[in-house]
Structure 1
Amino acid sequence: MMGVGYSPRWDYIINMSNFIAIQISGMIVSCHSTIRMTHEKSLLLGVLGDTPQLRIVDFLLGHYRYDYSKKEIAEGAGIAVSTLYGVWKELEELEIVIQTRAYGNTRLFKINSQNSLVKSLAKMDMDLVELTAPKKRIIADPS
């Protein structure tokens, strides 16, 4: 690990060259590649497969604090809006995504961090980051 930070709000933050992971209150809430917006395949997609559903989940896991319109989610996930509409109902039925608010005709959504499947995927994503992270030994300063 290149850096580990601590604060009262976060249990820990792991910041490696291209990865950021945040754990709050024992649950991994964010674990994503900082190069995701270039639509390169994340570790999670590399292991589980590059499907539209996983691209959506992968994008929303990395941006868990914010809510997005369906169009913004499609753009962030690197898929066509028509593809998003084709898989969206399944994600809502499984309660993987939840509506947070609406303004006008636009509805905004975010990842459902309380969903057990989402928690499992976030943990798997974090485990993948830890497994592939460069290992550095930290030696305590004897002074």
Structure 2
Amino acid sequence: MGLKDVFGNKPVFRVLDFLLVHRDLDYSLSEIEGATEVSYRSLQSIVPSLVKRGLAVETRKVGKAKMYELNKKSNVAKKLDELAIAASFEAAGRQKLAQLA
């Protein structure tokens, strides 16, 4: 369960979910594409938009590839992480209740 489960399975939320879960490393657009199944073309607009909004940061370049990670200093990113965690706990609770019934 993550942001995509709260807001809908839209590419931007799949990317944010990926960056939230894998916050300790940086990734190229190609790596994000493989993990999220969001097209490279879409990522070319989504990721710079996240950078512009302060949710992601460009960390370095490896050859021609730019590397990105979650902006751990962003208050909005922290709140989105809290929301994703809360949604996961809520879903787990509902599942547990369903098993008990």
TM-score by length of 2: 0.82
Map of 2:10 onto structure 1: 51
Taking the TM superposition and a 5 Å limit, the aligned residue runs for 1:25-64 are 42-64=1-23
Residue 82 of structure 1 corresponds to: 41
1:122 maps to a residue whose letter is D
Q: Which residue is equivalent to 1:3? A: none
Using CA pairs under 8 Å that are at least 6 residues apart, name the structure with larger relative contact order, 1 or 2: 2
Q: How far, CA to CA, are the matches of 1:113 and 1:51 in structure 2?
A: 22
Q: Does residue 97 of the first structure (1) align with residue 82 of the second (2)?
A: no
Matched, 1:106 2:65: yes
Query: How far did 1:89 drift?
Result: 2.5
Larger CA deviation: 79-88 vs 126-135:
126-135
Matching residue's letter, 1:133: A
Tell me by how many angstroms 1:107 deviates.
1.6
- Percentage identity across paired residues of the two chains: 27
Which 4+ stretches in 1 moved above 4 angstroms?
none
The Cα offsets for residues 74-131 of structure 1, whole Å up to 9 and x where unpaired, read as 2111111011113222111101111112222122111111111111110001111221
CA RMSD, 1 decimal: 1.5
Structure 2 residue runs without a partner (length 5+): 97-101
Q: Higher Cα Rg: structure 1 or 2?
A: 1
1:132 maps to which of 85, 91, 96 = 91
Count matched residues: 94
Q: Deviation at 1:43? A: 3.6
Identify the residue that residue 119 of structure 1 maps to in structure 2: 78
Q: Tell whether 2:13 aligns with 1:68.
A: no
SS at match of 1:109: strand
Query: What's the TM-score once normalised by structure 1's chain length?
Result: 0.60
